[in-house]
Structure 1
Amino acid sequence: MDEQKRVEVAEPRFEHGHFLLIAGFRDRFTKETVQDIPALWEKLIPHIGNIPGQKGEVTYGVCSNFDGNGGFDYMAGVEIRKLDDFPQEKYPWIEILPRQYAVFEHKGSLELLPQTLEYIYKTWLPASEYKGLNAPELERYSADFNPKLKTGKLEICVPVEKKT
């Protein structure tokens, strides 16, 4: 039996996210194809800094349109200012509405990200006073994020509301 690697995840901070437009590249994934997400990032990297209306240097992974069977859309992208005259045929985009997020910092290798997500959704969330929302989940990568050097910051922003 494979021994599962353990991850340490600190308690989240809570923040009220603001309206975002994220543009980049998107595809549909399942549990069986999730290992292909890095290829989407490889496709995005040469475009960072060249996407019209790009705002800042932070990059985002956006998980949305969950089907309840492990399928979801994933976008690797950057924040843009507006959609006016935006080349939507070249860069798909998604609108992120303002809402409350539980924000977790992922530490360590990206290979351990699935364990961090499993902890958040299977351990922390059920035991917390919050419930997850059917809304986009964000991975926020700092401008200096470098997965090879393990520098920079990766935050997982989980949309939540208090249980009633």
Structure 2
Amino acid sequence: MEPEIETAPERRLVGFADAFTVETRHRIGELWQAFLKDAQHIRNRVPGALYGVSFSADGKGGFRYAVAVEVDPLPEQRPQRSCVVTLSAGKYAVLRRFAPIEELPRAFDEMFTEWLPGSGWCQREGAVFERYPDDPRNGPDGVAWEIWVPVQA
């Protein structure tokens, strides 16, 4: 595993968010389903990707997770129960894969327990997120996905 280090601009996302714990994270799929039903109502979408964003971790296994799309500019009117998430500008360690989505949790674990401790980089303030780019290969055999971790030297 060798993530690339990239510098990214600030991004604004609009989506749906909810609170989860390690015990309830299996329900994140339900949030994705609800979002995908209403995503077409989000104005000013930047085409090309969907996002899954983990933020507000409480240190006890609790966190918030949002399913979202990038927007530009931020629309004044948004779907009911939607939220705005800002991804900070700065350096990120980015792991890109085309694989079954079931491999994503293991890749997250490896990123934080194996790669990051020996990389010379430290996690900085900011949301960790998944990016699901449009890819013609997406289908039953796999999905293009990326893990973005905010880092600093």
Does TM, scored on the shorter chain, surpass 0.5? yes
TM-score, normalization by structure 2: 0.90
Residue 101 (structure 1) aligned to one of 92, 95, 102? 92
TM-score by length of 1: 0.84
- Residues 26 and 101 of structure 1: is their aligned pair in 2 closer, same or farther, counting only changes over 3 Å? same
8 Å contact from structure 2 (residues 123, 152) kept in 1: yes
- Aligned length in residues: 153
**Larger deviation: 23-32 or 108-117?**
108-117
1:57 deviates by 3.2
Is 1:128 the counterpart of 2:139? The answer is no
1:108 CA drift (Å): 2.4
**Partner Cα separation in structure 2 for residue 132 and residue 102 of structure 1:** 9
Query: How far did residue 74 of structure 1 move?
Result: 0.5
RMSD: 1.9
Superposition deviation, residue 49 in structure 1: 3.4
Matching residue within 69, 82, 94 for 1:91: 82
The 2-side partners of 1:79 and 1:16 are apart by: 17
1:119 to 110, 122, 128: 110
Unmatched segments (≥5 aa) in structure 2: none
Aligned pair 1:63/2:93, yes or no?
Answer: no
Does 1:41 pair with 2:32? yes
Question: Are the counterparts in 1 of residues 138 and 144 from structure 2 also a CA contact under 8 Å?
Answer: no
**Separation in 1, partners of 2:151, 2:64:** 19
Runs of 4+ in 1 over 3 A off after TM superposition: 144-148
Unaligned runs of 5+ in 1: 1-9
